[in-house]
Structure formats: structure tokens, C-alpha cells
Structure 1
Amino acid sequence: MSKRQQDVSALLEALTQAEEKVQREKAQKRAIANQVVAATQKLPADERQAVLEQVSALLSADELTEKFTRLLSQHKVPLTNVASFQQLLVQATRRRQLFNFQPEWKLNNKRYAYQFIDELGVKRPETFAFNQPLASIEPKSATVLKPENGSSSHGVFIFDEQGGAFEVRTGETLPTVSDAMAKASGMVEQGTIKKDSWLLEEFIGDFEGGKPLPPVDLKFYCFFGEVGFVLEVERANETRYCEWLPDGRLAETGRYEGRSFVGSGFTNEQLEIAKRVSQAIPTPFMRIDFIKSKNAFSFGEFTPRPGQFSSFNKEFDRYLGECYLSAEAKVLAHLSSK
């Protein structure tokens, strides 16, 4: 066995031991919870209710046995600690592995996404080239080059009015179009971009001195017709983030410490557009990304499984999980009524 294989084997063994320790601690936690529940039977009804609510808040979904679940349900205690956005998105991934069809993932393809958006009559960038190898693309000023199935802004370049380009992910300014095309080609060769299939589209944004002012991204976390959360992203000299609740209050998510700013937010009209698009997608969750400049608000892309979905703090992860479960129930009711 090679040294590398030995290292991997040792890490797997450590991971197994850590899992065994977690399960022992969970078993101990369930035993203590049983003792607490038994002790509450001697308390007055109002005090018993308060204790059961605390028990519910301290047990996660995999710690709620049938006995606990039945007891809490009988006492109408909300299971406030079981919804998890992170776990629900992981489970959605497993569902896709088991049965490879989920409507939200079809929309992950920009071609289908644009067809869908066109049918809804929502503004999107004009397209100049679609599903083309990089060698066939002819860049021009005030356009954006994107890989057809890219993510996290990899391979996205804005061509300016002076023969240069701006790389969205890194914020780097490239002096010539050829430099940008060479860098995009390198991403294909390195496997950062998995398929040599690109689109060239209108730049939704403004220029200053011939150079692009990167537009702001407004990413709406949508739950079948409702918006739970909005992420505003500014990509100027550095990438900064502002997080909003749908009522316009700032959200406390536990993310982006040291990289946040107070943005300009969104209008009620923009919020309603996101809701309308979400309502047309029969799935519990879809992040719908829009591009905002001084004079325009345009659809960008659909994101079924956002990056960093596991980085929310516990409270916000639970809040988004509740949004997901509520939307899932609405989707089932919607489909059963047809």
C-alpha cells in the first residue's frame, strides 16, 4: 500500500471513529430526554407544556423517536428544530440520484431557462451566440461571454468598449479580448469549465469611461411563489454581500463576515417578478438570479443548488428549512388539485 493510500485509510478510520462517537452521544442524549419526559408527567399541565417545548427545541430530526414525535404531536408542540435547509437540499440531491428528473435542474441549462423566461415575458439579455465552441465566438463590445452550464461565475467575461475585458469571478481587468479568450480556453483545458459550449449575450449594465461598471446581482431564494431571502452581490473592486429578508430588513445569516456592505436592496416590483417566476416552477425551492444596473433589471439564471448552502447559521438554516417544507406542501396540494 502506498503512502497516499495509507493516509487515506487512516483518515477513513478516523472518520468512522468520529461517527461512532457521535452515535454514542446521541444515544446518551435520547436517554436523558426520556428521563426529562418521564419527570414532566408529575408537573402541572402548563409547566409540562413549557418543558416539552424545550425538549423539542433541543432534539434534531434524527433524535426524535416515534415516542417523542407522538408525545410532542399530542401536546401540539411545534417541532421547531427539525427543518434544515442544508439537509433538505442534500436530500433533494439524493432524490435526483434515485430518479433523474427534477424540473428545477432542467432550468439549470441556460437554453431552457431562457425559453422558460421568454414564455413568462420577463426581461432577459439579448443572445448573440448560443451553444457554440469558444473558437466560433466573435466577441464584441458591451457583451458577456458565459459557459452554457457554468457556475459560481467561472468563465464569465464582460467585454468593454475599449477592446478589453473584465473577469467577473476574480475582478481582474484584461487588456485585450484575446487575453480573455485565452483565459477562457485555459479553463476548458484545465477542466474548470467542463464543456466547450458558450453563449454570448448583451451586457446588462453601465459603462464609465468605456469600462464596465459590474452590475449588482440580486439572488432571490424562492419557495414556490414566496421569497424567503435575498442575497445582493456587488462585484466592483472586491466582491461584497448584503443579505435581506423579503420585508426589507437586513438578515442575520452568519455568513460573509468582513465582506458585507449595506446595499440598495430591491423594489416591491422586483420582488413580485421573482415570486411570479417561482410560482411557475412546481418545485419547493429555486434560487432565481437577476441582474440590476442603474436603468435595468433583467433575469440572469436559475440556481437549483446554491453554493455555500451549508454555511447559514443554525437559526437561519432552520428558517429556510421551514420555508422549504411549507413550499413542498403547497406544491403537493397544487399538483393533486390538477
Structure 2
Amino acid sequence: MDYLTRIRERGAGQERGVPSYLHDKIKGREFVERIGGPVPKLLATYTSADDIRLDELPDTFVLKPTFSSSSFGVMVLERKEDGYHDHLRHRDLTAEQIVAEQTELSEKTPRAKHEWIVEERIVDPQGNPVPDDYKFFTFQGEIGLIHRTIRDPKKNKHAFFDGNFEPIVDPEDRLIEVNTKIIERIVEPRPDNWKSMLNIAKRISVAVPSPFVRVDMYDTLSGPVFGEFTLVPGTFYYEDREKMHAPLSYRMGYLWVQAENQLR
């Protein structure tokens, strides 16, 4: 069975034993800490948006709601004279606007456990305040695909690598196709820290009790750090931004089956 079929079955609730608790950003980082993986420094936690004390935080920090997926609600903030700048979405905000947005987000998920964490702001090896996302599609220590997102205010750039961190050159889109209206696909060399990133992703993958998990990481000035777990990635799932074609989907489906057998 191919990857796309398996991930959509998981998304529909047809797979048993999925460790969904790892979606929670606090539980995810605690899991990685327990196995000795690198995580950003934790500065504060809150159980209500009204409790967020921005004036008690450093001049730069990252605010994350633990109950939302991907980057929804995440703010990469820097204090300015008249408020804050959110580097993730390139906008200026007041303290009141920050709290109001987080409150609105929590109201959209009334049944969720609402918590927020504040982490140190990390920068990439080039000093950029929003490091590139490296998303490792992992199968019990095997890497099926690496997806790098380079954030750009005009159009995000996406690069793809195989399980050995070799760039995927696919000019005819036989493996992956992107929506060029919103994404620019590029070919990038693997980063200087590629070996460390690969080893960390594999180590984390083996520890997770699931045949598949996407391990999201960042490459920073002080080395790779863990970002979050994604058990049902939207990438390729909805096909509105990226499409995975059959050769890659079947290859990753094979890795999924191998990982299942390994866990038995």
C-alpha cells in the first residue's frame, strides 16, 4: 500500500495505536528531552491566554500554542519601542493584539487543553530570525523524504531531499509537483549540519512507537534542534500545495510496511 493511502487512513481514524499525544508541543519536546535530543530552551508556560506576561519575557522569544498544529498561532516575536514585530508573518503587533489572537485561537478549539509555551528564539547559521523548516518523513529509523521550507514574504521556497540528504532533482515532476502560484520549487545543496540532522531525526524516529512520524527540525547556529512531531502531515495530504506522485508514494509506503514489521 502506498504512503498517501496510509496517511489518509490515519487521518480518517482508521489506524490503531497512533501516539497522538505527541501532537501536543509540550509532550513532544518532553519526549525528545527524555531520549537526549536537542530542544530549544523553555522560558515560560501558560494555561490561559490572559496569563501571558509579555513584559516579563526577553526582547526576543517564540510564543507557541501547544494545542494547534504546524505554525498556526506561532509568533516569532521581537520587542520594539511601540510593541512587537512578528518575524514569522512580517507584521507589527501590540501586546493586546497578541493576547487577543491567542484567545481567538483557543476559542476555535473549546475542547482542547489550552496551554502556551515560550521558547528562546533561535536563529539559523546565517543569522536569520526564522530558521528554515526541515521536515523528515521517518519510518522507524529510515528516512523516506526530507522537505525544506525556506520562508519568504513573497513566496516560500521548497526543496526536497532523499533519505541520504541528497537533493532531489526532478525537472519533470515525476516524484513531486508543487503549486507554483504559491510555492517556488528549488534545488538546494544539503546543509553543513546534514549528518547531525539525519542522525538526530533517525534516533527520534526509532523512539516513537509508530511506523511513521514526521520529525520537524531546525538548523541553528548552535546545531540542529527539534521543532515538533506531526503524525498526520498536511503536506501532500490535501494536494492543494504539493502533490506526491506514485513512484515516491509507493516507495514510502514500502518503508511504512517495513517499519510496521519492525514494531511487531
Answer whether TM exceeds 0.5 for this pair.
yes
Residue 308 (str. 1) matches residue 223 (str. 2):
no
Higher helix proportion (structure 1 or 2): 1
Q: 1:293 to 1:326 in 2, by over 3 A?
A: same
Alpha carbons of 1:119 and 1:214: their partners in 2 closer, same or farther (altered >3 Å)? same
The CA deviation at 1:257 is 4.2
Structure 2 CA distance for aligned equivalents of residues 87 and 158 of structure 1: 35
2:215 alignment counterpart: 288
Q: Could you state the TM-score of these two structures normalised by the residue count of structure 1?
A: 0.64
Shift of 1:277: 0.8
Cα RMSD of the aligned pairs, angstroms, is 2.7
Q: Give TM-score scaled by structure 2 length.
A: 0.81
Alpha-carbon distance, 1:111 to partner: 2.0
CA pair 236-138 structure 1, distance change in 2 beyond 3 A: farther
1:178 Cα offset (Å): 3.3
* 1:265 and 2:190 aligned: yes
Counterparts of 2:70 and 2:250, CA distance in 1: 24
Work out whether residues 42 and 118 of structure 2, in 8 Å CA contact, stay in contact via their aligned partners in 1: yes
Percent of aligned positions that are identical? 25
Give the whole-Å Cα distance in 2 for the aligned partners of 1:180 and 1:233. 25
1:200 has 2:118 as partner: yes
Q: Give the number of the structure with larger relative contact order, counting CA–CA contacts within 8 Å between residues 6 or more apart.
A: 2
SS at match of 1:255: strand
Q: Is the 8 A contact 1:125 1:201 kept in 2?
A: yes
Cα distance in 1, alignment partners of residues 167 and 47 from structure 2: 42
CA distance in 2, matches of 1:309, 1:301: 18
Counterpart in the other structure of 2:84: 164
Contact 2:2–2:250 (8 Å) recurs in 1: yes
Check 1:212–1:152 CA distance in 2 against 1; reply closer, same or farther (3 A cut): same
Gaps of 5+ in 2: 238-242
What is the count of residue pairs matched by the alignment?
243
Partner of 1:134: 49
Give 2:240's aligned residue.
Answer: none
Q: Give the alignment of 1:222-261 within 5 angstroms.
A: 222-237=138-153, 238-247=155-164, 248-250=166-168, 252=170, 253-258=175-180, 259-261=184-186
Residue 218 (structure 1) aligned with residue 150 (structure 2): no
Task: Tell me the amino acid that sits aligned with residue 328 of structure 1.
Answer: E
Amino acid at match of 2:223: A
**Which residue identity does 2:22 align to in structure 1?**
L
Task: Tell me if structure 1 keeps the 8 A contact 2:10–2:232.
Answer: no
CA distance in 2, matches of 1:181, 1:264: 40
Which secondary structure does the structure 1 equivalent of 2:200 belong to? helix
Report the Cα offset of residue 213 of structure 1.
2.3
The one-letter code sitting in structure 2 at the alignment partner of 1:220 is F
The separation in 1 between residues aligned to 2:168 and 2:235, in whole angstroms, is 19
> Structure 1: which 5+ residue stretches go unaligned?
1-82, 333-338
Query: Displacement of 1:235 after TM fit?
Result: 1.5
> Is the 1:165–1:180 contact (alpha carbons within 8 Å) kept by the matching residues of 2?
no
Matched, 1:178 2:105: no
C-alpha deviation, 1:251, in angstroms: 5.7
CA distance in 1, matches of 2:206, 2:107: 39
Distance 1:172 1:315 in 2: 38
CA distance in 2 between counterparts of 1:137 and 1:202 reads 15
Question: Does structure 1 retain, via aligned residues, the 8 Å contact 2:77–2:86?
Answer: yes
Question: Contact between 1:278 and 1:286, CA under 8 Å: does it hold in 2?
Answer: yes
Distance of 2:134 and 2:248 partners within structure 1? 19
Higher normalized strand content (fraction of residues): 2
Q: Which amino acid aligns with 1:172?
A: H
Q: Is this contact kept in 2: 1:123–1:297, CA < 8 A? A: yes
On the 8 A contact 1:89/1:305 being kept in 2, the answer is: yes
